[in-house]
Structure 1
Amino acid sequence: MNASEIALVATGGTIACEADATGALVPRRTAAELIESAGVDVPCRPVDVRAVDSSSMTLADVDALIAVVHEQLADPSVAGVVVTHGTDSLAETAFALDLFHSDPRPVVVTGAQRAADAEEPDGPGNVRAAMEHIVSGGDLSKGVVVAFGGQIHPARGLVKADTHALDAFRPTVGNGAVAPVRPDPIAPVALAGATIPVVAAWAGADGSIVDAVAALKPDGIVVEGLGSGNVSDEMGQALHRAIDAGIPVVITTVVPGGKVEFAYGGAGGGATLGSRGAIPGGWLRAGQARIALAAAVSAGVDPRTLIGG
């Protein structure tokens, strides 16, 4: 095997989809087919893991993918790994890979907005860009990255910000802001088995949903709050009760850009929630915060160490 071989690990998603007889998109393309369609001239190793819509990716699926990526990197002939993935949960999976990525070789996650059999598919170009990043050596200080729509973004603090645009992914950090600090990676732990529901806030929400979720005794709760990390007074009071019951709570925001920093008073204000023990999500949005909290619970570490600043 060639010393500069790139492993392409395929998990399905739009990049692998073709239309069936009814016109519905179904993931069918294999890793070998994705490599062939990209037209790359570097030695590649196809690895098929799943063929699934990423909205159905479970934590067990993510654990299995992490294990496969680490297995590929255990081979010194592998120069780096490209993971092809559906865009719905791509940012979450890329972040999970990043939490456990301590190898100096690049791992790049990519996908597509258009099906493989579309008139002008974007998947082949994204795969080429991912492989070019590996061949160039990349910027290893950024950890796991996402190659999409002509851009290379660090996985940490990334969101899918557009349902159809070819450059759909955006960092939550705006122009001029200090980039998120990437904490030291930790040894892989199982994410599966952790129950971390996400609860969305809305103006004037009562506390019934939070109380119902807390009654299930989850391992943690992620709240998709408003503004810089606020909820209504009644929802805030319910979160106080959850925290008092020993349930870790991370507060994120529905706002696409900016950092969650607690500032406001009132029962549902971020400052009050923080004083009661809630954790600000920083640059992470709900999906990535859920991954961080699941990893922290499994590893037995303070979630703040994985959420970062």
Structure 2
Amino acid sequence: MTSPARPGTFVLVIATGGTIACTTDPATGARTPTLSAAELVTACGTTDEVRVYDATSLDSSSMTLADVDHLISLVHSALADVSVSGIVVTHGTDSMADTALALDLVHSDPRPVVLTGAQVPSDHPRADGPANLLHAITLAADPLSRGQGVMVSFGGDTLAARGAFKDDTSASRAFSLSAPMTLPRPRPVSPAPLADVCVPIVRAWPGAGSELIDAVASLGPAGIVVEALGAGNVSEGMGAALRRVLGGGTPVVISTSVPHGEVAFDYGGAGGGNTLGKLGAIPAGWLRAGQARIALATALATGSDPRALLGV
């Protein structure tokens, strides 16, 4: 990542794998990431000045918090170079929104960081990766993108990292925001390692018992995120287990499996959000479970108030 003398002269593209870098095995039909950052940039046809860096080559469903730590370190190191006008991260779609928020929570530089990827592999007749990458590079190079934090550029849409989630398994416009507006960004915190912060996600379902929460709690997690029903409610059995977890001092954040809308602690009963909130559970606000996990892990790693990073 060597730099020229003039400030703000190039966009850095950091590749991490994902469908955008995939080719298809003709024998099995399996997609695996094989293309380098340089090959991706060449295919997109950009006329902007670009430098490239290959960070890793993963299906993003395998992206660990250690991988996220590495990416955060790369981005911060790159932004120490005044020649960088912006950064593009190519990334798989499965965990793109989670990584975007992890980067955004510690992003204090005005220069943009833009994540993009693809829904179909590079050797598909209608590959969407080149157009997505071209748009992302253009966005990262644009001075008007300064001060907007980390963004997701995909299918012609430009979305803030906070509140973003993947809402379609195959459509070219794969991402949406859970809120009807752009959410305010909390004050960025200094990076701290996330790799050893264990925050599992537990999915609620109607009539669930206590067993799953009890089993997860027995592992000694740093915190738990519950993907609840509706506006933030779980069954009586799961609520009773969460009461025990909260009584033991483990942070619990309540998100929801509903795609859009805010978590609201309105309902009573053993598993109602109102009851859980009074016991110390924290609502995820507009964040879905994946991003709530990232916010809670970042808060625990940095000694920050989880409510501040969740935006509630």
Q: TM-score, normalised by structure 1?
A: 0.97
How far apart are the structure 1 equivalents of 2:298 and 2:137? Answer: 28
Structure 2 distance, partners of 1:291, 1:135, is 27
Could you tell me which of 86, 92, 113 is aligned with 1:80?
A: 86
Structure 1 residues 140 and 230: alpha-carbon distance in aligned structure 2, compared to 1, 3 A threshold: farther
Find out whether 1:19 has 2:24 as its counterpart: yes
Matches within 5 A, 1:38-77: 38-77=44-83
2:72 maps to amino acid: I
2:304 counterpart (296, 301, 306): 301
Q: CA deviation at 1:300?
A: 1.1
2:169 match:
163
Judge conservation of contact 1:203–1:231 (CA < 8 Å) in 2: yes
Q: C-alpha deviations, 1:140-175, integer Å up to 9, x for none?
A: 44310000000000010011000000001000013x
Q: Quote the Cα distance in structure 1 between the aligned partners of 2:139 and 2:305.
A: 33
Q: In structure 1, what residue type is equivalent to 2:263?
A: V
Contact 1:38–1:128 at 8 Å: present in 2 too? yes
The residue aligned with 1:203 is 206
Whether the 8 Å CA contact 2:110–2:148 is kept in 1: the answer is no
| Mapping 1:185-200, distance limit 5 Å | 185-200=188-203
Pick from 104, 129, 137: which aligns with 1:123?
129
What's 1:37 paired with?
A: 43
Deviation at 1:71, TM superposition (A): 1.2
**What residue in structure 2 maps to residue 246 of structure 1?**
249
Shift of 1:179: 3.4
Q: CA deviation at 1:306?
A: 0.5
Moved over 6 A (4+): none
**8 A contact 2:112–2:148 mirrored in 1:** no
Equivalent residue of 1:196, what SS? coil
Residue 5 in 1 paired to residue 16 in 2? no
Amino acid at match of 2:240: Q
Contact 1:266/1:272 (<8 A) preserved: yes
Partner of 2:105 in structure 1?
A: 99
Over the matched positions of the two proteins, sequence identity in percent amounts to: 55
**C-alpha displacement at 1:139, in angstroms?**
4.0
Shift of 1:114: 0.8
Please tell me whether the aligned partners of residues 233 and 268 of structure 1 are also in contact (alpha carbons under 8 angstroms): yes
Which stretches in structure 2 are left out of the alignment for 5+ residues?
Answer: none
Give me the CA root mean square deviation: 1.0
SS of 2:230's equivalent? coil
The CA distance in 2 between the partners of 1:275 and 1:107, in whole Å, is: 38
Instruction: For 1:30, give the aligned amino acid.
Output: S
Gaps of 5+ in 1: none
TM-score, normalised via structure 2 length: 0.96
Letter in 2 for 1:47: Y
Displacement, 1:301?
Answer: 1.6
Distance 1:237 1:141 in 2: 44
Paired residues in the alignment total 306
Which among 276, 279, 289 is matched to residue 286 of structure 1? 289
